[in-house]
């Protein structure tokens, strides 16, 4: 016989054992509620969280590459045509520290409110089946609008970053002024764009909450965005630390 495997490894399907085992049923995973009656939100949530965790990797790589470029550029000698020699030309940016600390405070607060919003909607989603029973009342439907507060604080952070740019420009640092100011604008803009994405998604979730759609689907959006939001906060701490301690 030509075979190199002398026996057939017939095994029963392995379930519930780490990476291999799979839940046996697909009750309408993916996009919508086309399953047999009741979409499996638990599975959709797990999949969305996994997708987010994977999506954070390239975002991390993106900022890591700019950070390493920052560090390398800072120590790089540059040829100066006036003295005809190699000099270090890194001019520290005069950061508007008070404003940036205020912005950091806003973002930290928004990260906390995002977590409250996440926990609130998790509770609402867990109680949704109970609530659908006729005659059962669980008191106030809405609770404190953490979602709106998060959107406002996030928007406030973005406005604050814009004001920091104005401040920098007033001090004479434009994007092409020096390598340090180029990196400052680049890092803050890239972070701002990523955070603006989160603001848009949370705004969407807030608008959808007015449309009486099932709370479970909205919960997935809020949950994943809240984790993304925490990542954006940590990323900002990293960027701020780089800009301040390595200026």
Partner 1 sequence: MATSATIHSHAAPQGFIRKYVFSLDHKVIGIQYYFLALIAVFVGMFLSLLMRIHLIWPTAVLPLIGEIKPETYLSLLTMHGTIMVFFVLTTAPQSGFGNYFLPIQIGAPDMAFPVLNMLSFWTTFVAFIVMIAAFFVTGGAPLHGWTGYAPLSALTNSGPGEQLGADLWITSIAIFCIASLMGALNFITTTLDLRAKGMTMMRMPLTCWAWFITAILGLLAFGVLLSAGILLLLDRNLGTSFYVPLVVVNGQVMGHKGGSPLLWQHLFWFFGHPEVYIAILPSMGVASQLLSTFSRKPIFGYKAMVYAIMAIGILGFVVWGHHMFMSGMSPYSAFAFSIMTMAIGVPSAIKTFNWLGTLHKGKIRFYTPMLFAIGFVSLFVSGGLSGPFLAQPVLDIPLHDTYFVVGHFHLIMGVASIFGIFGATYYWIPKMFGRMMSEGLGKLHFWITFVGTYAIFMPMHYLGMAGHPRRYSQLTEVAYLHNLIPVQTFMTYAAFITIAAQFIFLINLFWSMFKGPKASDNPWEATTLEWTTATPPPHDNFGGHTPVVYHGPYEYSVPGVAKDYVMQTDPAPVTAH
Q: How far apart are CA 203 and CA 148, in angstroms?
A: 8
Instruction: Determine if 15 is a binding residue for partner 1 (CB under 8 A).
Output: yes
Q: How many CB atoms lie within 10 A of CB 68?
A: 10
Which one among 38, 41, 42, 65 touches partner 1, defined by CB under 8 A? 65
Which one among 163, 175, 196, 242 touches partner 1, defined by CB under 8 A? 175
Q: Which is nearer to partner 1, 99 or 175 (CB)?
A: 175
What burial letters (b/e) apply to 22-32, b meaning 16+ CB within 10 Å?
A: eeeeebbeeee
Only segment of 58-66, 94-102, 157-165, 232-240 that touches partner 1 (CB under 8 A) = 58-66
Q: Which is nearer to partner 1, 97 or 189 (CB)?
A: 189
DSSP secondary structure string for all residues of 135-198: T---S-SS-S-HHHHHHHHHHHHHHHHHHHHHHHHHTT--TTT-HHHHHHHHHHHHHHHHHHHH
Q: What is the pattern of x (binds partner 1, CB under 8 A) and - over residues 18-57?
A: -xxxx-xxxxxxxxx-xxx---------xx--xx--xx-x
Instruction: Determine if 16 is a binding residue for partner 1 (CB under 8 A).
Output: no
Q: How far apart are CA 19 and CA 151, in angstroms?
A: 37
Number of residues that bind partner 1 (CB under 8 A): 60
Q: What is the pattern of x (binds partner 1, CB under 8 A) and - over residues 76-105?
A: x-xx-x-------x----------------
What are the C-alpha distances in Å from 177 to residues 100, 180, 184?
Answer: 20, 8, 11
Q: How far apart are CA 192 and CA 31, in angstroms?
A: 29
Token output for 3? 């075979």
Only segment of 59-67, 134-142, 205-213, 215-223 that touches partner 1 (CB under 8 A) = 59-67
Identify the H or E element spanning 86: strand 85-88
Token output for 97? 């520290």
Distance in Å, CB of 154 to partner 1, minimum: 23
Residues engaged in binding partner 1 (CB under 8 A)? 1-15, 19-22, 24-32, 34-36, 46-47, 50-51, 54-55, 57-63, 65-66, 69, 72-73, 76, 78-79, 81, 89, 175-176, 179, 182, 186, 190
């Amino acid at each position: 016989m030509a075979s190199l495997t002398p026996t057939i490894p017939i095994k029963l399907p392995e379930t519930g054992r780490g990476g291999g085992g799979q839940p046996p049923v697909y009750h309408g995973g993916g996009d919508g509620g086309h399953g047999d009656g009741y979409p499996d939100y638990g599975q959709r949530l797990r999949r969305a969280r996994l997708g987010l965790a994977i999506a954070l990797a390239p975002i991390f790589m993106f900022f890591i590459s700019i950070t390493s470029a920052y560090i390398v550029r800072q120590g790089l000698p540059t040829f100066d045509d006036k003295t005809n020699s190699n000099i270090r030309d890194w001019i520290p940016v005069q950061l508007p520290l008070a404003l940036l600390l205020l912005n950091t405070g806003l973002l930290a607060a928004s990260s906390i409110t995002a977590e409250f919003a996440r926990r609130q909607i998790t509770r609402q989603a867990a109680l949704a089946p109970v609530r659908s029973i006729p005659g059962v009342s669980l008191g106030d439907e809405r609770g404190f609008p953490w979602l709106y507060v998060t959107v406002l604080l996030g928007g406030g952070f973005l406005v604050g970053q814009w004001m920091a740019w104005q401040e920098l420009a007033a001090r004479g640092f434009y994007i092409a002024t020096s390598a340090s100011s180029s990196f400052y604008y680049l890092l803050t803009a890239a972070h701002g764009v990523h955070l603006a994405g989160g603001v848009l998604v949370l705004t969407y979730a807030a608008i959808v909450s007015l449309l009486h759609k099932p709370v479970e689907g909205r919960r997935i959006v809020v949950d994943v965005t809240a984790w993304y939001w925490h990542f954006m906060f940590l990323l900002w701490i990293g960027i701020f630390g780089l800009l301040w301690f390595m200026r």
